[in-house]
Homo-oligomer: A and B are copies of this chain.
Amino acid sequence: MKQIIVVNESLKLPRGKLAAQVAHAAVAAFLEASDEAQRLWLAQGMPKVVLKCETADEIMQFEEAAKRRGIPAYLVSDAGRTVVPAGTITCLGLGPASEKELDELTGELKLVR
């Protein structure tokens, strides 16, 4: 089991802002998951990976694909009080779900450095 957070790297969010958005996605996607998926993921130490894509459109396509496959998904759009305009899509939380399911979905994406 793992969780993947896909970040809209075109925004080049500063470190603290990015971290807050990714945390939001992680908590919200966790709450979308079944009790069983939550339990397994917690027991395994909550593994998570932060990956990047280059546009909000791409992120929305991942969200749709995840929902079609029954993978928990939560799209984060920023309230716009600080760094980016209101409604900007900043990231997408996926899972907890099996590594296999998530890798089939996001296997092409690279790590955020």
Q: A14-B113, A26-B26, A27-B30 known; A19 and B7 CB under 8 Å?
A: yes
Across the interface, name the chain B residue whose C-beta is closest to A45: B79
- The answer to whether the Cβ of A20 comes within 8 Å of any Cβ in the partner chain is yes
Chain A residues packing against B (C-beta within 8 Å): 5, 7, 14-28, 30-31, 42, 45-46, 48-50, 52, 79, 111-113
Copies, count: 2
- Is the CB–CB distance between A24 and B46 below 8 Å? yes
Q: A26-B27, A27-B26, A30-B27 known; A19 and B50 CB under 8 Å?
A: yes
- Is the CB–CB distance between A20 and B49 below 8 Å? yes
Question: Which of B17, B26, B52 is close to A23, meaning CB atoms less than 8 Å apart?
Answer: B26
